[in-house]
Structure 1
Amino acid sequence: MLSLWSNSLLSEANIAALLVLVIVYYLLQFHLKRRHLVNLPPGPKPLPIVGNSGAFLIPSFIRRRFGKSSNRPDTTPVIGLTEQAAVYGNVFSLFVGSQLIVVLNGCDVIRDALLNHPEVFSDRPDIPAVTIMTKRKGIVFAPYGPVWRKHRKFCHASLRTFGLGKLSLEPCILQGLAIVKSELLRLQEEKPAVDLTPLISNAVSNVICSLALGQRFHHDDRQFGALLGLMMRGLELCVNSSAILINVFPLLYHLPFGVFKELRQVEGDITVFLKRIIAKHRETLDPENPRDLVDMYLVKMLAQRDAGVEDSSFSEDYLFYIIGDLFIAGTDTTTNSVLWVLLYMVVHTDVQKKVQAELDKVVGRHRVPSLTDRGRLPFTEATIMEVQRLTSVVPLGIPHMASRTTDFRGFTIPQGTVILPNLWSAHRDPTVWDDPDSFKPERFLDDHGKLVRKDCFMPFGIGRRVCMGEQLAKMELFLMVTSLLQAFTFRLPEGVPPPPMHGRFGLTLAPCPFSVSVGPRG
């Protein structure tokens, strides 16, 4: 017994010693890195080892903990970052561990950085939590350089071949919408309230699946529905306060419990699904008749091999990450945008009626809206844009990185610094937007009711890393919103209060769960 007790103490002593060594190592790393940084933008003082991790989340946590609500999106990092800008200015510094982060706030600063200094601020950082899952491949998180440019050019050209940005894609979008509308007609007779999320998510995802994977999935497909749910959960987990610690201590990713285990499970399930699709394409490939983006990529690989061209950047491994990017980015952001618009319509029923009146006048009730109607539906377009402004579905964009040390706005930005463009702050910038926290579609219309485009409206980002699927997302958002509002009236269920409007923060900002009463307009 004494021997076991001694061994236990020895084991605990070893663990404690190892922990002390790890802490000392990170303290030295943190100290050595900071002593070489001069003329940085101002910011809150970081703590040893963890830096500012979580510090800017405290104000929002306190508001929630003690029951104080806000009508602004309660995107804890975004609220915290915007509050810090009021203290330190629109360009300020934070540390996550020893990693320097510079946050850009406000329209003018973000446009200056991403449009006037694209050669410096177009790269992507090596963030452990992201790199573990993406291996810095694909389109969204890949480093800026020749490999990324080749793949972005290839993907854009391939998707255009199958209809991206063209009217020829409209039937594909409307096909999914027809299913949504028929399901809503069925469900509204069976249930007093309907959760729109699975129907919208399936319809949106099937558009990118048609372009990239050459197939659609039935709305009752349980495996596909589960995958969409896992994808949304994974995006939330990526910015979970515990998961963020992976960026300080990467080995935490391998812990067999909590969010770390769940994150690995989500990654594994999505990997199995996508690799199965690629394998099926390889087995059924007809090089003379490519069916979708996956086929075109495999054909390019074959052509390079036959020509003796050595280009290791084009591989099935890289294709996997491209498909993952297109599948996730092409589903989550547009789904949440459609859901946000419908949520605002049930909260602001007067605006819903104005949109429907415009649709009745321009389109009528006997044909579905078309992309060719967009120019004649300015209030409808303005309403969609105002919801996008207020919600900023990707509120912090995708992190950028300084590819070299540079001077910006009087400060030194060292090479390797993570750059966070706070798009939410740009869309709430009081120097640009009058009464920025209020819902006013009219702000996008001139005195004659014509649509006004504004430089500080940037829901898809700006610069060289602007969202590749911007045109597709705009098409889907317009057609889905107009078709659904033409066919149905959406209301809150009887006796149910409006849902919170603060949203759920992941890599994207999703509405809090809500259900609606659906009534056919006849």
Structure 2
Amino acid sequence: METSRTQQRSVICLSSHREMWTTVALVVTVLVILFVRANIRPAGFPPGPFCLPFFGNALHIILLSPKVAFEKYVNDYGGILSYRVFNTWGLLVSDPALMKAGMADPALSGRIDLILFDHRDSIIRRNKSAPLGIISTSGDVWKNQRRFTLRTLRDLGFGRSTLEPIMQEELEELLKLFREREGEKVEVGLLFNRSIVNVIWAITIGKRYSYDDKKLEKLVEKVSKMVQTFNPFHPALRFRWVKKLFPNLTVIHNTHHYMAELLAFIESEIEVYKQQKGDQEDTSCYIGAYLHELEQLKPDEEDDTSLSMDHLKANILELFLGGSETTSSTLWWAVYWLASNQNAQRAMQEEMDRVVGRCNTPTISHMDRLPYTMATIYEVQRMGDLVPFAIPHMATEATSLGGYRISEGTQMMFNLSHGLLNSRYWKDHDKFRPEHFLTEDGKVFKPDHFMPFGFEAGVGHARGRQRGVAVLAL
């Protein structure tokens, strides 16, 4: 009897072990399949880092930060590689030549769906609609808005000496403020922010604010908060399902709140401008030129691809977000690096005294005769590394880059930071040396891998922005 019970227990034990090992084998098989499937890249894609099921490389990128994680991937897989964030495949391009080719390829000019701009567009139109502005649009919408904006900024003198009176006035006000506060502690970042916002506002609406004006203070605060909120890698601002699952996340609430505040300010200022100008034609500022162009449109020409009041509000917002924080931060870093490198500061001052004169104000015409000063500005941009990645792009049709096939819908990340701080491109990559941008005979030059703000074929926008940085930095 006892033997029979022992045999029964053995059978049950063996059966339990068999079921357990069957379960383990099944789980292992499923995991292997999931890991294998997670790493099956689209045909013709470049190699890349190992991907986890469901997450892909998202956890690694979020935990390390995009900049650190991507630089590690570049060291392992080279100048063009593939990665996956959840269920979305993307290519990271870090090789300077491939970046220029990719940014100039019309097939890679599409924009990814950023929820940040959904907030903006829903606030402007109060309902779901086609994308607005320039950054988040593509196709005819992007072409029309971008063409008008670049043409108007050029006509207003952006990047040329005709804009100089506005910048000179702002420069004089800034220097006056510094003299008044000599010997005191000064928050230079805030003052630079106000200066840059004032220049952009003067171009946009044709007026500037005094530094103690509460409107300017509030505008600078709104722009700064909006820029700090923007993070295209945050899952809640990148994937709609994250927003649906966690609608009350702080980043979602803050994005919508700051966006609404900034747009309310822009809308009110447009209305004030229209009331003050009345029927008077004025094309001396961006808003005036845009409203004038709107009046020329026939009713049957107005659609989502043409100019509109909604697009105007979105474009103004983008001018502030794209131009204010990067430029003021460049100036802040200039103060830091020059204070930390007395030899560079002295060399720059000696050149300024010789070419401009200590009692004179620098102008754009001086720039070509200030090679060390310009080299210093470029070195500040390099060391500051303010824009690690260009605005994410998307392939609107199948194409190729660097010998690899790119399918429609692939997301493209252009790694600007790699060409700025990599020892492969710079002799002393971690040291502040304006000589990085000087030839042996003392002339200024910019290497091909130096792209602090990206690259667009045939577009002078970045050049205009750098001229603005140059004049204010002087």
Taking structure 1 as the reference length, the TM-score comes to 0.76
Give the Cα separation in 1 of the matches to 2:155 and 2:350: 36
In structure 2, what is the Cα distance between the partners aligned to 1:82 and 1:212? 38
Matched position secondary structure for 2:82:
strand
Counterpart of 1:267 (choices 246, 259, 266) is 259
1:395-445 C-alpha deviation (Å, 9 max, x unpaired): 101111111122333333221111111001012343332232222211211
Q: What residue identity is the alignment partner of 2:395? A: A
Q: In 2, are the aligned partners of 1:253 and 1:260 still within 8 Å (CA)?
A: no
Q: How far has the Cα of 1:114 moved from its partner?
A: 2.6
- Specify every segment of 5 or more residues in structure 2 that has no aligned partner in the other structure, as ranges: 1-34, 122-129
Within the candidate set 204, 228, 231, 1:236 is matched to 228
Q: 1:132 to 1:411 in 2, by over 3 A?
A: farther
Alignment match, 2:88? 99
Q: Which residue of 1 aligns with 2:271?
A: 279
Map residues 286-435 of structure 1 onto 2, 5 A cutoff: 286-305=279-298, 309-312=301-304, 313-435=306-428
How far the C-alpha of 1:379 sits from its partner, in A, is: 0.7
Alpha-carbon distance, 1:32 to partner: 9.5
- Aligned sequence identity (%): 26
Taking the aligned partners of 2:457 and 2:115, their CA distance within structure 1 comes to 23
Map 1:122-161 → 2, pairs under 5 A: 122-133=109-120, 136-143=131-138, 145-161=139-155
Residue 392 of structure 2 contacts residue 413 of structure 2 at CA under 8 Å; is this kept in 1? yes
Q: Which amino acid aligns with 1:396?
A: F
Structure 1 residue identity aligned to 2:194:
N
Is contact 1:113–1:121 with CA below 8 Å preserved after alignment? yes
Aligned to 1:258: 250
Name the CA distance, whole Å, in 1 between partners of 2:150 and 2:292.
Answer: 16
Residue 80 of structure 1 pairs with residue 72 of structure 2:
no
Q: Secondary structure at the match of 1:93?
A: strand
Q: Higher RCO, 1 or 2 (CA under 8 Å, sep at least 6)?
A: 1
> Of 234, 237, 245, which residue of structure 1 is paired with 2:236?
245
Counterparts in 2 of 1:416 and 1:287: CA distance versus 1, 3 Å: farther
Query: What is aligned with 1:478?
Result: 470
Q: Which amino acid aligns with 1:244?
A: P
Q: Secondary structure at the match of 2:111?
A: coil
Query: One-letter code of the match for 1:211?
Result: I
Q: 1:227 to 1:51 in 2, by over 3 A?
A: farther
The alpha carbon displacement at 1:197 in A equals 1.2
Is this contact kept in 1: 2:80–2:92, CA < 8 A?
yes
Relative to 1, partners in 2 of residues 1:291 and 1:408: Cα closer, same or farther, differing over 3 Å? closer
What SS class does the counterpart of residue 478 from structure 1 fall into? helix
* Counterpart in the other structure of 1:517: none
CA shift digits 1:254-309 (9 cap, x unpaired): 73452222222111111111111222233334353334211221122122137x54
The 1:36–1:185 alpha-carbon spacing in structure 2 relative to 1, beyond 3 Å, is: closer
Alpha-carbon shift at residue 160 of structure 1 (Å): 2.5
1:90 matches 2:79: yes
Q: SS where residue 434 of structure 1 aligns? A: coil
Query: Does 1:121 pair with 2:108?
Result: yes
Moved more, 219-228 or 453-462: 219-228
Task: Report 1:15-54 matches (<5 A).
Answer: 37-54=42-59
Task: Report if the CA contact (8 A) 2:382-2:450 is conserved.
Answer: yes
Q: Is 1:221 the equivalent of 2:213?
A: yes
* TM-score normalised according to structure 2 size: 0.83
CA distance in 2, matches of 1:365, 1:409: 51
The answer for the alignment partner of 2:4 in structure 1 is none
Deviations 1:24-61 (A, max 9, x none): xxxxxx999987833322222333443322413444xx
Q: d(CA) in 2 for partners of 1:358 and 1:36?
A: 55
- Give the equivalent residue in structure 1 for 2:14: none
| TM-aligned CA distance change 1:378 to 1:464, over 3 Å | closer
Kept after mapping to 1: 8 A contact 2:327/2:469: yes
**Relative to structure 1, is the Cα distance of residues 379 and 140 closer, same or farther in structure 2, using a 3 angstrom cutoff?**
same
SS in 2 for 1:341: helix
* Contact 1:395–1:424 (8 Å) recurs in 2: yes
The answer to whether the 8 Å contact 1:40/1:413 transfers is: yes
User: Is 1:187 matched with 2:174?
Assistant: no
Q: For residues 258 and 453 of structure 1, do their structure 2 counterparts lie closer, same or farther at Cα, with a shift above 3 Å needed?
A: closer
> How big is each residue's C-alpha offset from its partner over 1:101-130, in whole Å with a ceiling of 9 and x where there is no partner?
211113233123234xx1222221223344
Q: How many residue pairs end up in the alignment?
A: 430
Native 8 Å contact 1:378 1:445 kept in 2: yes
How far has the Cα of 1:173 moved from its partner?
Answer: 0.5
User: Residue 423 of structure 1 contacts residue 459 of structure 1 at CA under 8 Å; is this kept in 2?
Assistant: yes
Q: Distance in 1 between matches of 2:424 and 2:169?
A: 43
For the structure 1 residues 186 and 216, does the alpha-carbon distance in structure 2 shift closer, same or farther, using more than 3 Å as the test? same
Paired with 1:285 and 1:104, the residues of 2 have a C-alpha distance of 50
1:110 aligned onto 2:99: yes
Is the alpha carbon distance of 1:48 and 1:218 closer, same or farther for their aligned partners in structure 2, counting shifts above 3 Å? farther
Pairwise CA RMSD of aligned residues?
2.7
Given that residues 124 and 401 in structure 1 are in contact (C-alpha distance below 8 angstroms), is that contact kept between their aligned partners in structure 2?
Answer: yes
**2:156 aligned partner, one-letter code:** F
- Within 2, Cα distance between the matches of 1:465 and 1:370? 26
What's the counterpart of residue 451 of structure 1?
A: 444
Aligned residues of 1:238 and 1:244 also touching (Cα < 8 A): no
Counterpart CA distance in 1 for 2:38 and 2:278 is: 51
Other-structure match for 2:8: none
